Structures are given as structure tokens and as C-alpha cells.
């Protein structure tokens, strides 16, 4: 029997690869004769570089860039066959500005706090992501893939563009786009948020991170002003069929990373669903047929049943008729929710079980030993 561990990020493991290795160890305890393939997947967020480096057997290059608070932080650039892979979270992840973000969330004790919280958010920069892209260009990459998930920065990608030479007021943005004209730029986004609107980047701060409405509304206004300025500098292109202006801020993925997706789209990036991109990039489709596909992550819930690693891996398995199961630290939806994905079962750890123990127990169900 062949078992494919195409799992994502778990809260209880340092990265997707470590989690998949732990699951493999547990599965082999019960079924040592099984062929267990470790192939972790990322949605473009945490673990993006680690997953691709493992699958492509490539070694990342360490670099130092500007973090969201302005301090230098370590990051990595993965180069393989002319492609440079960049993980935005290494330069501007929420883990790099926890104190600031904690201060922005929660109810307001006084209405006057809103302006201070807005200011705190706007001081967090995406500059380091632009520095990573610049390093990729300097390394001679002809294709640059930016994996982007939830970030600390909420500057609409302004810092990223400034680091690439757009200028403090972004007036040199056309020159930056021209510089990248011969480079294929890909945005592998973890979420399809638009930049603005009721389901945009600022609104998500309220629904997902507890930022109060007065703060998210003012941040929305700032992003709106940014798009107006950008549209004057770089007039939107028109749809060839309808003649209507194409508005990058409304494109799926523009709101990812607080607008880093928007900045990438302004530079001509092709937006792709992060987990789908990784599945294709590492050739996972070639090993899916004839396997029991095990996917999972921190939570299997109302969100991950539709988007992300679990949903995309299950869809890929369903396309080739392979059964799939979910091993998650929390299972918050029932079997009915996963039926459209072809998911045959979902399991979470019992008290005292780690990931290896969970996999060993589930292996007893799917591979009973006689």
C-alpha cells in the first residue's frame, strides 16, 4: 500500500516538513511495510520555501532584509532552474511584529485610540519583500514566485514597491514595471481577498484578528487613497472585450498580505492559488494515482474545507479517483462538509496524542494488520 502525506502547516510542529515526517513515523509504526511518501504542501504562506526546497532538492540561500518594524531579519531565497521562490512571511510575517499587532487588536477603551492604532499598523512595512525580489533579480532569475499569506504589514505593498525603486511617492512605478517586463512574476496567494471592500484586506483584520471597526474603516480609507494615487501614476489597462478599466485592487489575491498582492499585480504578476501552484510545481499529480492521500493541518474547519492545502489536495486526489483523509489538530466540520471533496474521513488527536500517535492510530483503521 502506498500512502502519500500531502499535509500542510500544524501549530504543534516547527514547519510542514517536520509535521509530515512525524506523521510518517507514526504510520510506519503500525504498517512498516507500507510505502509512505512525505510530500508536504504549502498554500503560499508559512513553510512555502521549506516545502519547495524539500521537493526540488534545492538549498535556499540566506539573505538579510528589512522586517516589518524596520529591523533587519533573516530570510531565504530559493533558486532552482532560473526560478526564484520568495516567502513573503519571512520578511513581514505576523510573528515579527506580535507586540504591535497585539496592541492594535481588541476593543477600544477610548475613541481616540483608533488613530494611534491606525498609525501603528501603517508603520509596519512590506519593504523586505521588495528587497527579496530585488535579490532574486540580482541573482539572474527569469521567473520569480512570491508566496504570500497573512502578514504583519498593511501598507498596500507600498514598502515593497519603494524597495524596488518606485520612490517614496511611487512616481517611478512605471519604471519598476518596465524593469520586470522580461521577468515572469507569479503571486502564489494563500487567500483570494481583494484589496478593498466588504471582503477586503482591512475587513479581514476585523473578522480574523479582532481589530475594531473604527480602525479597519480608517485603514480601508488609506488603501482607497493609495489606489487613487496609483491609478493616476499607472492608469489601469482596459479589458479588450468590454473596454472597461481593469482594477487590480479588485482582483482575487490583491488583498493578501495587507496589499502585497496588489503591489505584485501592479508589476504584472500572475495570481495563482498558492496550494494549487505548489501541487503543480512539485509534480504531486504524478504520484497521486493509486495512493491513499493523507492531508491536514492545524484545523479542518469551515474555511479550510473550501480553501487552502486540505481543500486543494483533496480536489487533486478526487480528480484521479484516489481516496483522501484528513489528519488535523482540530476537526470542526463533519463528514458531510467534505463529501464534495471526496474526503473519506477526518481525525484529530485524542488527549495525550501527538501527530505520530494520531497517524499510528489512523493507520490501524486504514491498514488493519492480520
Percentage of residues of the chain with pLDDT beyond 90: 93
- Which stretches within the chain are classed as H helix? 16-30, 48-56, 88-92, 98-104, 113-122, 127-138, 158-163, 173-179, 201-209, 213-233, 260-266, 274-281, 309-319, 335-338, 355-366
Averaged pLDDT for residues 52-70:
97
**Among 61-65, 111-115, 188-192, where is mean pLDDT lowest?**
111-115
pLDDT at 57 over 90: yes
| Per-residue pLDDT reduced to its tens digit, 325-337 | 999 999 999 989 9
Please provide residue 161's backbone torsions phi and psi, each rounded to the nearest 5 degrees.
-65, -40
pLDDT at 116 over 60: yes
Instruction: Give the torsion sign (CA, 145, 147, 152, 158).
Output: positive
Look over the chain and give the mean of its residue pLDDT values, rounded to a whole number: 95
Q: Cβ of 2: how many Cβ atoms within 10 Å?
A: 14
pLDDT of residue 242: 78
pLDDT of residue 369: 65
Please state, in angstroms and rounded to a whole number, the distance separating the CA atoms of residues 104 and 69.
Answer: 14
- The model's confidence at residue 31, banded by pLDDT at 50, 70 and 90, is very high
| Per-residue pLDDT reduced to its tens digit, 170-206 | 999 999 999 999 999 999 999 999 999 999 999 999 9
Please state, in angstroms and rounded to a whole number, the distance separating the CA atoms of residues 325 and 312.
Answer: 13
Q: Residue 245 has what DSSP assignment?
A: B
**First CA to last CA across the chain, in angstroms?**
15
| Per-residue pLDDT reduced to its tens digit, 231-269 | 999 988 877 777 777 789 999 999 999 999 999 999 999
Q: Residue 238 has what DSSP assignment?
A: B
Query: Can you tell me which residue has the cell 483503521?
Result: 365
Please state, in angstroms and rounded to a whole number, the distance separating the CA atoms of residues 326 and 253.
Answer: 26
Please state, in angstroms and rounded to a whole number, the distance separating the CA atoms of residues 7 and 47.
Answer: 11
Higher pLDDT, 246 or 348: 348
pLDDT of residue 238: 79
Domains of the chain: 2-41+284-366 (3.40.50.10350), 48-277 (3.90.1510.10)
pLDDT of residue 261: 98
pLDDT of residue 370: 47
| Per-residue pLDDT reduced to its tens digit, 123-177 | 999 999 999 999 999 999 999 999 999 999 999 999 999 999 999 999 999 999 9
Alpha-carbon distances of 357 from 19, 99, 294, 327, 345, rounded to whole Å:
12, 35, 15, 11, 17
Please state, in angstroms and rounded to a whole number, the distance separating the CA atoms of residues 81 and 79.
Answer: 7
Higher pLDDT, 217 or 12: 217
Cβ-Cβ contacts under 8 Å for 128 (sequence gap 6 or more): 65, 66, 67, 68, 73, 75, 90, 91, 92, 159, 163
| Per-residue pLDDT reduced to its tens digit, 268-294 | 999 999 999 999 999 999 999 999 999
pLDDT of residue 212: 97
pLDDT at 117 over 90: yes
Amino acid at each position: 500500500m502506498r500512502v502519500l502525506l500531502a499535509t500542510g502547516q500544524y501549530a504543534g510542529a516547527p514547519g510542514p516538513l517536520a509535521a509530515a515526517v512525524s506523521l510518517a513515523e507514526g504510520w510506519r509504526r503500525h504498517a512498516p511495510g507500507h510505502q509512505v511518501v512525505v510530500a508536504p504542501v504549502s498554500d503560499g504562506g508559512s513553510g512555502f520555501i521549506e516545502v519547495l526546497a524539500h521537493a526540488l532538492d534545492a538549498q535556499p540561500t540566506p539573505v538579510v532584509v528589512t522586517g516589518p518594524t524596520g529591523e533587519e531579519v533573516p530570510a531565504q531565497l530559493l533558486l532552482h532552474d532560473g526560478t526564484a521562490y520568495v516567502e513573503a512571511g519571512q520578511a513581514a510575517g505576523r510573528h515579527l511584529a506580535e507586540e504591535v499587532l497585539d496592541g492594535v487588536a481588541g476593543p477600544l477603551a477610548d475613541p481616540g485610540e483608533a488613530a494611534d492604532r491606525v498609525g501603528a499598523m501603517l508603520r509596519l512595512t512590506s519593504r523586505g519583500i521588495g528587497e527579496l525580489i530585488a535579490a532574486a533579480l540580482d541573482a539572474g532569475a527569469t521567473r520569480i514566485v512570491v508566496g504570500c499569506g497573512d502578514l504583519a504589514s498593511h501598507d498596500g505593498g507600498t514598502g515593497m514597491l519603494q524597495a524596488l525603486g518606485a520612490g517614496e511617492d511611487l512616481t517611478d512605478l512605471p519604471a519598476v514595471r518596465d524593469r520586470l517586463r522580461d521577468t515572469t512574476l507569479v503571486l502564489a496567494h494563500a487567500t483570494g481577498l481583494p484589496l478593498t471592500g466588504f471582503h477586503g484586506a482591512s475587513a479581514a483584520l476585523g473578522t480574523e484578528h479582532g481589530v475594531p471597526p473604527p480602525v479597519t474603516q480608517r485603514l480601508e480609507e488609506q488603501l482607497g487613497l493609495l489606489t487613487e494615487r496609483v491609478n493616476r501614476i499607472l492608469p489601469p489597462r482596459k479589458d479588450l472585450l468590454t473596454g472597461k478599466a481593469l482594477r487590480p485592487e479588485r482582483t482575487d489575491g490583491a488583498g493578501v498580505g495587507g496589499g502585497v498582492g496588489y503591489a505584485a499585480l501592479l508589476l504584472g504578476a500572475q495570481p495563482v492559488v498558492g496550494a494549487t501552484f505548489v501541487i503543480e510545481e512539485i509534480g504531486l499529480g504524478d504520484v497521486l494515482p493509486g495512493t491513499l492521500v493523507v492531508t491536514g493541518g492545524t484545523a479542518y474547519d469551515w474555511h479550510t474545507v473550501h480553501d487552502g492545502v486540505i481543500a486543494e489536495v483533496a480536489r487533486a486526489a478526487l480528480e484521479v479517483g484516489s481516496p483522501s483523509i484528513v489528519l488535523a489538530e482540530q476537526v470542526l466540520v463533519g463528514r458531510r462538509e467534505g463529501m464534495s471533496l471526496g474526503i473519506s474521513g477526518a481525525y484529530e488527536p485524542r488527549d495525550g496524542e501527538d501527530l505520530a500517535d494520531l497517524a499510528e492510530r489512523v493507520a490501524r483503521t486504514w491498514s488493519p494488520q492480520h
